[in-house]
Amino acid sequence: MSNWGHFLKEEHALDTFQRLSWQGSIQEYLDKVQKDPGLCRNAFQRMYDMIMSYGSQSYVEMKKPLVRYHFFDDPLDHGKDAVFGLDIPIMRLVHFFKSAAFGYGTEKRVLLLHGPVGSAKSTLARLLKKGLEDYSRKDEGALYTFRWVDNGTSLLGADEMLCPMHEDPLKLVPVSRRADLMEEIQKGHKGASYRMGIVGDLCPACRFVQRAFLKRYQGDMEKVFSHVRIERLLLSEKDRIGIGTFQPKDEKNQDSTELTGDINYRKIAEYGSDSDPRAFNFDGEFNIANRGIVEFIEVLKLDVAFLYDLLGASQEHAIKPKKFPQTDIDEVILGHTNEPEYRKLQNNEFMEALRDRTVKIDIPYITKLKEEVKIYEKDFHSGKIRGKHIAPHTIEVAAMWAILTRLEAPKKANLSLLQKLKLYDGKMVAGFTEENVKELRKESVREGLDGISPRYVQDKISNALVHDRSDACVNPFMVLQELESGLKNHALIGNEDLKKHYRDLLSVVKQEYEDRVKNEVQRAISADEDAIAKLCSNYIDNIKAYTQREKVKNKYTGHDEEPDERLMRAIEDKIDIADGRKDDFRREIMNYIGALAVEKRIFDYKTNERLHRALELKLFEDQKDTIKLTSIVSHVIDRSMQEKIDVVKTRLIKHHGYCDTCATDVLNFVASIFARGDSRGESR
């Protein structure tokens, strides 16, 4: 029989368990706090420190300084819940927590994430919750609570009682002594980030027990503290410790006790009164989320009575359990909602108080193509798709269409929606600068708040992967067909004009894909490095002679000849260098070569992307007649031609990520374009 024991044991489990199960006296805890005052941080301070503990990276985009916080890459789950393309909304989110951590006012507000369906609101909430869980297990995120131990007094009605709201042990310190205690604790920590204090009173259950012990010991606090055991607190959503989640249900089956706790009727007989806190379950979401975070799913769908509870919880940091006084809480209140529900809030004059206590952060759809692509690559990368190959550009064209549906039509007449997408993605578009891009973003009021959800695209890619016709390879046309057919019954799009607009955008994407694959096949045909190098050398010799008013020696005849204007213009025309600009372009190339020579560096055409592309297109033009793609369509291929086509196919597989199936498909597709006489893009 195999020994499975080593699979069942967690490495360093005993050491970890002992570290996380620390218990001690109130005096031992105070010694810990004196060494590290951060142990008594509030929930907002812990949240901010947790995010910052993962580090950040500053960068500049469109001349605007931005920050990317690594926590939102989800290092805890290897990127499973990573959030892409939302650096600006996330910066606003982190600034909210920073302001709250320093006590600048936002700690008294409900944090509301607002945006369309599928924009990562729930993902952000999930990240924050599991981040706090993990942080509470680290030394720098340690926090503590306490339990009462009876020690034979029979005052508890049990051997021990854990504080039902997992409160900070420092709340046990009498109010009159708190300021002196905190001053003593912080003496050696003058450079501490936060000015911390002991805020709030004990929960009703712990107040009741403390009073009972004080009465028994005639006010001797030292003897009362002998019944207190301090222990490490680990936040856990599944165990309902420090992390709460509330979701609206049928109004008839839900009341505010789900937030603030309810009477335990079985214990009334034991303790004799329904106002005895020992006969009350402090297990509402606000209670159990104390010291951490409570998430309200679709918060604005809550009944008005529930929303009133939010007012006191946010502004006063207090809740009102049934038959008990106001009870202090320390937690982040996070809600998320969609556009229709938020509009209802705005139009409801009775909810002004809630609007006034809410900080709304918009979480829009992504409008950068490369960031949208990351979402789908996370789910559909090659390591996850068994037995299937996803052809190049498949995910990109789906993402491109999704982005186009979210963009507002540009007001500039000479700018198309596709060009706007490219500008947002950091690509160069002739005639437009960074300032133009900033203007485009400013004039687009609702960009990213409408359009197609990533979930819809993910579903359609999945459909294409499992469809019978996909065989071993899924190509862009299969996914585009799924995207189009799904529009017919899309539950969130009832407007026929909008559906037509989305279909028109699919045609835009198909044309862009067509141009890209023609470009790729052209590159594969003209991928002879030696031939490109010879063509480049010939071109450089000619423009050198032209700019210096010299002649070129013919390698075959040995005679001096005028520079080959026809060759130079044939190359320059491929990248739209007008005849009036040819001299400037040629001098620019020669100046660049001269600058490299001064630095004792050799010119390489690959470093000049425009020249490289021009050379490829010229070589393609020279070679396309020797590799007649149109013969693929006619099926009239001799052995010599098949060998040449196989070389092109091999290049597509090796350099562009195709498999044998999709390389054959794309060659057939491009061949059909040439066969119907469509040479658009052939030399551009």
Give the pLDDT of residue 384.
59
Helices (H), 391-445: 394-406, 417-424, 434-443
- pTM of this prediction? 0.84
Task: Please name which of 64, 38, 63, 62 lies closest in space to residue 52, comparing C-alpha atoms.
Answer: 38
Question: Mapping DSSP to helix (H, G, I), strand (E, B) and coil, where does residue 87 land?
Answer: helix
pLDDT in tens, 24-41: 999 999 999 999 999 999
Determine contact, residues 127/81, Cβ cutoff 8 Å. Answer: yes
Give the pLDDT confidence score for residue 683 in this predicted structure: 36
Contact 109, 358 (CB under 8 A): yes
Of 229, 230, 243, 173, nearest to 201 by C-alpha is 173
Higher pLDDT, 598 or 129: 129
Domain ranges of the chain: 23-364, 369-515, 526-616
C-alpha distances (whole Å) from 38 to each of 33, 42, 54, 194, 581 are 7, 9, 17, 9, 66
Mean pLDDT to the nearest integer, 141-145:
96
Number of H helices, E strands in the chain: 29, 19
- What local confidence, expressed as pLDDT, does residue 25 receive? 95
Sorted by sequence, the CB contacts under 8 Å of residue 460 that are 6+ apart come out as 398, 479, 482, 483, 486
Mean pLDDT of 649-664: 87
Residue 649 has pLDDT above 80, yes or no: yes
Distance in angstroms (rounded) separating the CA atoms of residues 493 and 491: 6
Q: Residue 115 phi/psi, 5° resolution?
A: 175, 175
User: Identity (one letter) of the amino acid at 31?
Assistant: D
Inform me whether the pLDDT recorded for 252 exceeds 90: no
User: CB within 8 A of 487, min separation 6: which ones?
Assistant: 493, 499, 502, 503
Nearest residue to 142 via CA among 60, 214, 216, 37: 37
pLDDT at 684: 35
Give the mean pLDDT of 164-173: 95
626 pLDDT more than 70: no
Residue 636 has pLDDT above 60, yes or no: no
Average pLDDT, the chain: 86
Q: Give residue 493's pLDDT band: very low, low, confident or very high (50, 70, 90).
A: confident
* Averaged pLDDT for residues 369-380: 92
pLDDT at position 574: 83
Q: Write down the pLDDT at residue 679.
A: 44
Q: Give pLDDT, residue 680.
A: 42
How far, in Å, are 119, 468, 662, 664, 673 from residue 669 at the CA level?
A: 35, 21, 10, 9, 7
Listed range (136-145, 286-295, 563-572, 665-674) with the worst mean pLDDT: 665-674
Looking at residue 537, what is its pLDDT?
A: 87
The predicted pLDDT at position 15 comes to: 77
Whether 114 contacts 342, CB under 8 Å: yes
Could you give the CA distance from residue 323 to residue 244 in angstroms, rounded to a whole number?
A: 23
Comparing 624 with 93, the larger pLDDT belongs to 93
Instruction: Name the CA radius of gyration of the chain, rounded.
Output: 34
Task: Say if CB 142 and CB 246 are below 8 A apart.
Answer: no
Taking residue 524's Cβ as centre, other Cβ atoms within 10 Å add up to: 26
- Select the CATH number that applies to the domain covering 23-364 from these four: 2.30.110.10, 2.60.40.10, 3.10.180.10, 3.40.50.300: 3.40.50.300
Mean pLDDT calculated for residue range 242-260: 82
Taking 50 as the threshold, does the pLDDT of residue 153 lie above it? Answer: yes
Query: How many Å apart are CA 190 and CA 187, to the nearest integer?
Result: 6
Stretch 459-482: mean pLDDT: 85
pLDDT at 399: 96
Calculate what percentage of the chain has a pLDDT beyond 70: 91
- The answer on pLDDT for 283 being more than 70 is yes
Distances (CA, A) of 154 to 151, 157, 213, 426: 8, 6, 11, 71
- For residue 288 the two structure tokens come to 């159990």
For residue 47, pLDDT over 70 is answered with yes
Q: How much is the average pLDDT of 353-367? A: 90
Of 54-63, 442-451, 617-626, the range with the lowest mean pLDDT is 617-626
Mean pLDDT on 592-614: 80
In this prediction, residue 638 carries a pLDDT of 65
- Asked if the model's pLDDT at residue 93 lies above 50, the reply is yes
